[in-house]
Amino acid sequence: MFLQHFGLNEQPFGVTPDPRFLYLGPKHRQALTALTYGTELNRGFLTLIAKPGMGKTSLLFQYLGALRNNARTAFLFQTMSDARDLMRYLLADLGLDGTGKDLPEMHAILNQVLMEEMRAGRRLILVIDEAQNLDDKALEFVRLLSNFETPWMKLMQIVLAGQPQLAEKLAQPSMAQLRQRVSFSIRIDPFTREEVDAYVDHRLWVAGYNGPSLFTVGARMLLAERSEGIPRNISNLCFCAMSLGWATKTKIIDREMMRDVLADMDPESPDEKPDPSPKSAEEPKQVISIAPRPAVLTVMEPPARGWLTKVSLASALLLSLGWAGVYFNFEQRLGYSWHDIAAAVKSYLVPAVPPASPAPGLPHSPQGTLMGTSSEAPTDDKNPDAPLQGRADILRPRGGSN
């Protein structure tokens, strides 16, 4: 029903490395050309490096398929093993039995096979996939396999294929001898935006789809962005999107449907829609407990003062004390002198007047004046200025010339 809904003959986005669905983009074609060229030149060792899901295994099958008529091929993928197991797997893939034999005996059997192939005008092509899992001893064993040679040609062509960790392992100083024998180091980079479209269209065409564009422009843009250009991720996202379209009876995959698929496959996806339902008021709050840390008090010793600072402080202190003593003594002496001057001026300007007898019936003030009488001097009615003129001798200083 899935295939009928979209008008397909078979599943376009399967998980098996079917060579028919292999999309040979510019990068894959370059890698395949480099592998074929290195084999024709009998270079001995080649490496193929690619991220997981880049179609490395499908490319290797395509490479071996083109050489079956001219060479004897062997493909190994059990890389979590030692040297003896690798040799036994190699003989088994060549149709030979190495059960119960030790490593030198298996070496002799392999040498006999290589000589027979050389007489027949063919070579042995050994491909080891997932070679990043080989330990140092197994890699050294693979290097020794390249010693099967004659003075004029190599009897075995070896291709090490793996993830970027393989390049890191070969870069180690202990792998210098093996690294020196590698003629070509081939890499496959992820797809670009245009290559993602071509990859999707190619697989749909191989599966028999001939209708309108199954994925909209928005869906393709989101697919290229979130798949990181890795074919395996592209196939998984397309399969899930088409499954959702079949479930919802939709024949066109748009951006909204692709976003829903991404949200289901990755719950932490930024394109996931937030939950519109408000949180319950009775939801318990999360309590975060932080372990207390002991407080640390650091007491620092004050910096030591030099002799110049100490002398300056002592001088300032002595000067302050001396100035305070002079100031208080001067103020005391000035106070005494001021009182003496004031008394002298007062006795000089105001002559002593005998106290008048108080009139009977009037109270007598302590200052010798009559209470209630005016303190002004008597004046002449005819000449108001008479008192002033009459007392001019009082205002004039004694002994003066004026």
Share of the chain above pLDDT 70, in %: 66
Token pair in block for residue 12: 């376009």
Share the mean pLDDT of the chain. Answer: 76
Protein fold of 2-11+194-265: Helicase, Ruva Protein; domain 3 (1.10.8)
Report which of residues 68 and 377 the model is more confident about. 68
Protein fold of 26-190: Rossmann fold (3.40.50)
The alpha carbon of residue 143 and the mean position of all alpha carbons in its chain are separated, in whole angstroms, by: 41
Q: Which amino acid is at 129?
A: D
Q: What is the largest CA-CA distance in the chain?
A: 174
Q: Is the dihedral of CA 89, 93, 97, 102 positive or negative?
A: negative
Report which of residues 250 and 301 the model is more confident about. 250
pLDDT at 365 over 60: no
Report which of residues 389 and 57 the model is more confident about. 57
> What is the DSSP-derived secondary structure letter of residue 253?
B
Mapping DSSP to helix (H, G, I), strand (E, B) and coil, where does residue 177 land?
Answer: helix
Q: Count CA within 13 A, CB hemisphere, residue 290.
A: 3
pLDDT band for position 148 (cuts 50, 70, 90): confident
| Stretch(es) of the chain classified as CATH 3.40.50.300 | 26-190
Residue 55: C-alpha distances to residues 31, 74, 220, 289 (Å): 11, 19, 20, 49
| Stretch(es) of the chain classified as CATH 1.10.8.60 | 2-11+194-265
pLDDT at 331 over 70: no
- pLDDT given for residue 398 in this prediction: 45
Q: Count CA within 13 A, CB hemisphere, residue 228.
A: 8
pLDDT at 119 over 80: yes
Name the pairing type of β-strands 156-162 and 45-50.
parallel
Q: What is the C-alpha separation between 246 and 286, in angstroms, rounded?
A: 42
pLDDT at 282 over 60: no
Q: What is the C-alpha separation between 106 and 112, in angstroms, rounded?
A: 10
pTM, to two decimals? 0.63
Question: In terms of Cα–Cα distance, which of 325, 326, 348 is closest to 399?
Answer: 348
pLDDT at 264 over 90: no
- Beta-carbon neighbour count of residue 43 at 10 Å? 16
Does an H or E element contain 132, and which? Answer: none
pLDDT band for position 340 (cuts 50, 70, 90): low
Does an H or E element contain 5, and which? Answer: helix 2-6
Question: What confidence tens digit (pLDDT) does each residue in 205-226 have?
Answer: 999 999 899 999 999 999 999 9
Report which of residues 68 and 402 the model is more confident about. 68
